[in-house]
């Protein structure tokens, strides 16, 4: 397809962004994902599970037989309800956990609430994330922005993981959402990119520490994926050409990420996989 055919219409939203305001609507696998019992009976918490990659993961997990709790910001209630509807249609239980995880007490409360309402916890997907790319230089980054990026992407990941560990046991796993930005950082995203490099590093150490407890820890590194995060945080001209610089020449859809998360969550398929980062990047290198 030509670059024109791969372009997105100009559009902007305020963070965190909503799915309903996006053109075209992202594909979360609603019509395409088919489960085969890979996660039968498991209980998962997906932070940021209302929209984008998190919604695709929640839908796929449910179709693979898992019950799913999702964290999200209160402003995203309509997206969260839609994800819950798809989980329910798959015949699985959905638990909605609104709250701002840049607040420590809120972040730490998510695993307890998920475990209480699901009867336990087997899989933690640290997927919530924030970036802000509408600025020219490192000199333009405000302290509020630094706080929001680092607290959402790193502090909250650590808080949620710490609180989840008392629920996770032999055969369970943690999957962190990294990024191509950990490998090929863009200067306009330098604070965000640094958190994603740190997430890769954390994944290795968590896998080392938790392996003896039978808990696997991995990460997925997405390339450019069409989600609310993009029109909410990138300048309009970047949104229009989003993803065209990949070898496959286009942005990915959230649905194209879900199988990687299902694989890493599966105690059978990924029984010996821990401490790794699985790239789903449209061809950009993750080494």
- Would you name the residues annotated as active-site residues? 192
Q: Between 145 and 184, how does the x/- string for binding to ligand NAD read (CB under 6 A)?
A: -------x------------------------x-x-----
| CB 213 to Mg ion: min, Å | 32
Alpha helices in the chain (DSSP H): 3-6, 52-63, 77-89, 104-118, 143-150, 156-164, 190-210, 229-233, 236-240, 258-265
List, in order, residues 6 or more apart from 152 with CB less than 8 Å away.
101, 102, 128, 129, 130
Q: Which of 33, 43, 50, 210 binds Mg ion (CB under 5 A)?
A: 50
Q: Which of 27, 82, 100, 112 binds ligand NAD (CB under 6 A)?
A: 100
Task: Please report whether residue 16 would count as binding ligand NAD according to CB under 6 A.
Answer: yes
Task: Please report whether residue 207 would count as binding ligand NAD according to CB under 6 A.
Answer: no
Sheet holding 277-280, edge to edge: 94-98, 67-72, 43-47, 123-126, 173-177, 216-222, 277-280
CA angle, 224 then 246 then 266, to 5°: 55
CB 223 within 8 A of CB 243: yes
Residue closer to ligand NAD (CB basis): 64 or 191: 191
Query: Pairing between strand 277-280 and 216-222?
Result: parallel
Q: Between 64 and 93, how does the x/- string for binding to ligand NAD read (CB under 6 A)?
A: -------xxx--x-----------------
List, in order, residues 6 or more apart from 146 with CB less than 8 Å away.
191
Under DSSP, the state recorded for 225 is: B
Stretch that binds ligand NAD, among 3-11, 160-168, 218-226, 260-268 (CB under 6 A): 218-226
Q: Which of 67, 76, 191, 256 binds Mg ion (CB under 5 A)?
A: 76
Residues between 226 and 245 with contacts to ligand NAD, criterion CB under 6 A: 227-230
Task: Please report whether residue 51 would count as binding Mg ion according to CB under 5 A.
Answer: yes
Task: Please report whether residue 54 would count as binding ligand NAD according to CB under 6 A.
Answer: yes
Residue closer to ligand NAD (CB basis): 46 or 118: 46
Three-state DSSP class for 252? Answer: strand
| CB 169 to ligand NAD: min, Å | 26
Task: Tokens 């994902």: give the residue.
Answer: 33
Give contact residues for ligand NAD (rule: CB under 6 A).
16-17, 48, 50-54, 71-73, 76, 100-102, 127-130, 152, 177, 179, 222, 224-225, 227-230
């Amino acid at each position: 397809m030509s670059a024109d055919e791969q372009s997105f219409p100009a559009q902007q939203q305020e963070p965190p962004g909503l799915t309903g305001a996006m053109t075209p609507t992202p594909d979360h696998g609603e019509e395409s994902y088919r489960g085969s019992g890979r996660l039968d009976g498991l209980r998962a918490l997906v932070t940021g599970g209302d929209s984008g990659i998190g919604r695709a993961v929640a839908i796929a997990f449910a179709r693979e037989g898992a019950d799913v709790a999702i964290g999200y910001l209160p402003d995203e209630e309509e997206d969260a309800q839609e994800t819950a509807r798809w989980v329910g249609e798959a015949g699985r239980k959905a638990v909605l956990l609104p709250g701002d995880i840049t607040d420590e007490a809120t972040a730490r409360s998510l695993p307890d609430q998920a475990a209480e309402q699901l009867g336990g916890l087997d899989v933690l997907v640290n997927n919530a994330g924030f970036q802000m790319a509408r600025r020219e230089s490192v000199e333009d980054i405000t302290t509020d922005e630094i706080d929001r990026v680092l607290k959402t992407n790193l502090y909250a990941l650590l808080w949620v993981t710490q609180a989840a560990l008392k629920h996770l046991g032999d055969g369970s796993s943690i999957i962190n959402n990294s990024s191509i930005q950990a490998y090929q950082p863009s200067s306009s995203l330098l604070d965000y990119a640094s958190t994603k490099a740190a997430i890769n590093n954390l994944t290795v150490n968590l896998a080392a520490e938790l392996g003896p407890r039978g808990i696997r820890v991995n990460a997925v590194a997405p390339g450019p994926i069409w989600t609310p995060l993009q029109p909410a945080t990138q300048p309009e001209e970047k949104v229009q050409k989003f993803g065209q610089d990949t070898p496959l020449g286009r942005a990915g859809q959230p649905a194209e990420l879900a199988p990687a998360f299902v694989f890493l969550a599966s105690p059978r398929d990924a029984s010996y996989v821990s401490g790794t980062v699985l790239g789903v990047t449209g061809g950009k290198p993750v080494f």
